[in-house]
Amino acid sequence: MKNPYFGRLLTAMVTPFNADGSVNYKNAADLADWLIAHGSDGLVVCGSTGEAATMTLEERLELFHVILERVNKRVPVVVGAGSNCTADTVKMVKLAEEAGVDGVLIVGPYYNKPTQEGFYQHFAAVAKATMLPIIVYNVPGRTGSNIAPATVARLAADFKNIVAIKEAAGNVGQVNELFTVLPEDFTIYSGDDIELLPFMSVGATGLISVLSNCGGEMLQEIMQAYEDGRVKEAARLNTKMVPLAKAMFMETNPIPVKAATTMVTGIDCGDPRLPLTSLGAEHKEQLAAMLKEYGLMK
């Protein structure tokens, strides 16, 4: 099994919406092209950044088909298929598999706050229901509970199609523990742009990124420098990247990155769906100034 499994840099794609709030499928496909041309080794469709929580099942499936057709196997297409209901997650994964996706990202159940045994049984049920490779997504800041490294190790040992974790707990020590207890070929993806270099230093080999919607090449540059052993250069590049990555969270994700992606790519990504709102005027001005400073827009 290769490591990183789906490539080094996966972009958690924003979902473009029209002015009336409907999904703009053409712009989504155009954005997929742009991302592939600007550093993305793979795409994650309908994750948190893609606003899957406010999309209907029909919209999500249509978006899967549109992106798969446009990408045409140039890079892996991974789709968000998780929910806080195991039965619904299994249903969504089966539909994603029928659509022809390359893998699924499954978030730890939110709101319910499962025990570690509950986490294990949830992911076990998904793994048994599909042949697709699965990325476990640990994001306690959104779900309210943490998937322990021992639980991930147990899943990796029992199910060969659980191949990676997107680790977004913001805890370097936890990544080190994951690296210690997981097989060598199991991929640890950083789930936070700002944690990329610290996480790589203790075993992560890739990134599932928000910033790469508009700045993928700088992230690739950091990872390449680190992998080449140019550690001080990687640190210098990382120091430059972090303020921009933080700016993508000046309001709730994906509010800022949707605005930034529109500015940088020229592809209109629209406003987020309620209950998220458009980026405030002051923040939009600050973000535009930063993007110009970084040379990402004129």
The answer to whether residue 180 scores a pLDDT higher than 80 is yes
Q: Would residue 2 show up in a list of annotated catalytic residues for this protein?
A: no
CA angle 37, 42, 47 (to 5 degrees): 115
Q: How far apart are CA 204 and CA 182, in angstroms?
A: 11
* CB half-sphere exposure, 18, CA atoms < 13 A: 6
pLDDT at 76: 98
Residue 155 CA: distances (Å) to CA of 10, 161, 287: 23, 9, 41
CA distance 93 to 99: 10
Give the mean pLDDT of 125-145. 96
User: Residue range 183-212: average pLDDT?
Assistant: 97
Residue 111 known to be catalytic: no
Quote the Cα angle for 236-211-142, to 5°.
Answer: 115
Span 224-236, mean pLDDT? 97
- Give the pLDDT of residue 100: 98
**Interatomic CA distance for residues 172 and 114, integer angstroms:** 23
**Active-site hit among 5, 120, 137, 226:** 137
pLDDT tens digits for range 92-109:
999 999 999 999 999 999
Q: What is the mean pLDDT of residues 246-258?
A: 98
Average pLDDT of 245-260? Answer: 98
Catalytic member of 5, 166, 189, 226: 166
Tell me what pLDDT residue 2 has. 80
**Residue 66 is encoded by which pair of tokens?**
């549109």
Dist. CA 32–CA 28, nearest whole Å: 6
| Res 298: pLDDT | 73
Residue 278 has pLDDT above 80, yes or no: yes
pLDDT value of residue 1: 67
Q: Which helix (H) or strand (E) holds 87?
A: helix 86-99
Report the percentage of the chain scoring pLDDT > 70. Answer: 100
Spatial contact of 43 and 35, defined as CB atoms under 8 Å apart: yes
